Amino acid sequence: MKSPVRFERRLEQPKWLNWAIPVVSLITALVLGAIVLLATGKNPLDVYSRIFERGFAGKRALSGSIKTATPLAFTGLCAAIAFRMGLINIGGEGQFYMGAVGATWAGLVFGGDLPPGAVVIVMALSGMVCGGLYAAIVGVLRAKFNTNEIITSLMMNYLAAIFLNYLIYNSTSYWRDPESRNFPAGKPIPDRADWNFYEVGGIKIPLSFLIAILAAAAIWVLYKRTRFGFEVGVIADSPKAARYAGIRTTSTIVIVLALSGALAGLGGAADVGNFRGLLDSKGLQMSGYGYTGIVVAALARLNPISTVVVAVLIGGLTNAGFALQGPDFPSGLVGTLQGLILFTAVAGEVLVKYRIRRNRQAAAVLA
């Protein structure tokens, strides 16, 4: 039997698909989510309207969503920059933790002495270095031994989580509050090391969200306007061609992964400096920003600027999920919706690559 449809490769990809695909993906995901909700006896309209209310309606909701969107923008950029080169870095989660560890250290050491602006820079750099080096390990293994980066980067997420537990729960490390004997917690960084918030039309915008926008713009320039970005594109399309052209693929792999990790690490620094003010082992592990970042990057079709926009969207969803969690709004629902969005986003890529035509003959047979 012949299949009723056939796939025809598109010779050129029309521009309007760039925004049409994510929009259609999102709507389809919501429809599929509605089916899951209906099948489990929930009213999808009710659930969705509550998500919208808590995530996007009003200044307070938007402030909360942008707050949640900030770490997601960084982890989304982390995934996007690596995926663009065909490097599947799913270690954003662990690199984010390591960035938080590095930034907390810098905040604790320098927070009391340096002027506040300098503290922000030192914390951000420290987070980027820690996240970047952590990801560079994956890059070196991939470049030197051709070790599959997907699994190694994921394994390093678990290792980073165990490291966090060690720092806060199972040792008397520099990061742990010495006064927290019975309920171990992180040592808070000095107040004057906290990063700023700015109010725009009643909506609170964290400094780190602005940094995320800057980072996205910088990556856009790097990939579109520099020789390095061009080389990355060639390697992504054909590693062989890149090697014949004399592009140093091994060092590019390490650099791209280190950059990717540095972005996640910067997110970790933002998490400490702008939001939590200490190394929160449990909170970090429960948030799963690294994994959600993959959803963000995929829906943004790996475009850095769209990544920030999509981060606000998914941030709103996640934020509403935290706020609504309870018997009527079971945990796991937001994760399920995010998974569905990722499904439809990948499936949407098919429409970019192919034109789907009905098979005339098969249709006739079916009729």
Partner 1 sequence: MNSNIFVIIASSAIFYGTPLFFAALGGIFTERSGVLNLGVEGTMLLGGVSGAWASQHVPGSAWFTVLAAIIIGMAAGALTSTLLAILCVTLRTNQTVAGLAITIFAGGVGLSSYFANIWKVAEAPVDRQVRRLDVFGWADAPVVGPILFNQTILTYLSWVLVVLASVYLFRTRFGLQLRAVGESPQTADAMGINVVKYRYLHTILGGALAGLGGVYYSLAIVPTWVDGMTKGAGWIAIALVIFGFWRPSITLIGAYLFGALQSLSSTLKARNVQVSGDVLDALPFFMTIVVLVLVSTRFAHRRLGAPAALGFPYEREER
Degrees, nearest 5: CA angle 135-138-144: 135
Q: How far is the CB of 201 from partner 1 (least distance, A)?
A: 33
Q: How far is the CB of 154 from partner 1 (least distance, A)?
A: 5
* Amino acid at residue number 171: S
Distance between CA atoms of 298 and 244, rounded to whole angstroms? 30
Q: Which of 68, 64, 75, 66 is nearest to 268 (CA)?
A: 75
Q: How far is the CB of 265 from partner 1 (least distance, A)?
A: 20
Q: How far is the CB of 111 from partner 1 (least distance, A)?
A: 28
Query: Given the complex with partner 1, which of 229 and 335 has the nearer CB atom?
Result: 335
Provide the 10 A C-beta neighbour count for residue 35: 11
- Cα torsion for 4, 350, 88, 166, to the nearest 10°? -80
Query: In sequence order, which residues have a C-beta less than 8 Å from that of residue 288 and are 6 or more positions away?
Result: 93, 335
* Bridge partners of residue 358, in order along the sequence: 5
- DSSP conformation letters of 315-364: HHHHHHHHHH-BTTB-TTHHHHHHHHHHHHHHHHHHHHHEEEEE-HHHHH
Q: Which residues bind partner 1 (CB under 8 A)?
A: 6-9, 36, 40-41, 88, 90, 141, 145-148, 150-152, 154-156, 158-159, 162-163, 165-166, 170, 288, 291-292, 294-295, 298, 330-336, 338-340, 342-343, 346-347, 349-350, 353-354
Q: How far is the CB of 324 from partner 1 (least distance, A)?
A: 13
Q: Could you tell me the two tokens for 231? A: 């080389």
Distance between CA atoms of 199 and 120, rounded to whole angstroms? 19
- DSSP conformation letters of 63-94: HHHHHHHHHHHHHHHHHHHHHTTT-----HHH
Query: Given the complex with partner 1, which of 224 and 357 has the nearer CB atom?
Result: 357
CB 292 within 8 A of CB 338: yes
Query: Given the complex with partner 1, which of 116 and 239 has the nearer CB atom?
Result: 239
Query: Given the complex with partner 1, which of 305 and 346 has the nearer CB atom?
Result: 346
Query: Given the complex with partner 1, which of 9 and 181 has the nearer CB atom?
Result: 9
At 152, phi and psi to the nearest 5? Answer: -65, -40
Query: Given the complex with partner 1, which of 245 and 346 has the nearer CB atom?
Result: 346
Query: Given the complex with partner 1, which of 2 and 59 has the nearer CB atom?
Result: 2
Q: How far is the CB of 222 from partner 1 (least distance, A)?
A: 23
Q: How far is the CB of 286 from partner 1 (least distance, A)?
A: 8
Query: Given the complex with partner 1, which of 266 and 342 has the nearer CB atom?
Result: 342
Q: How far is the CB of 221 from partner 1 (least distance, A)?
A: 26
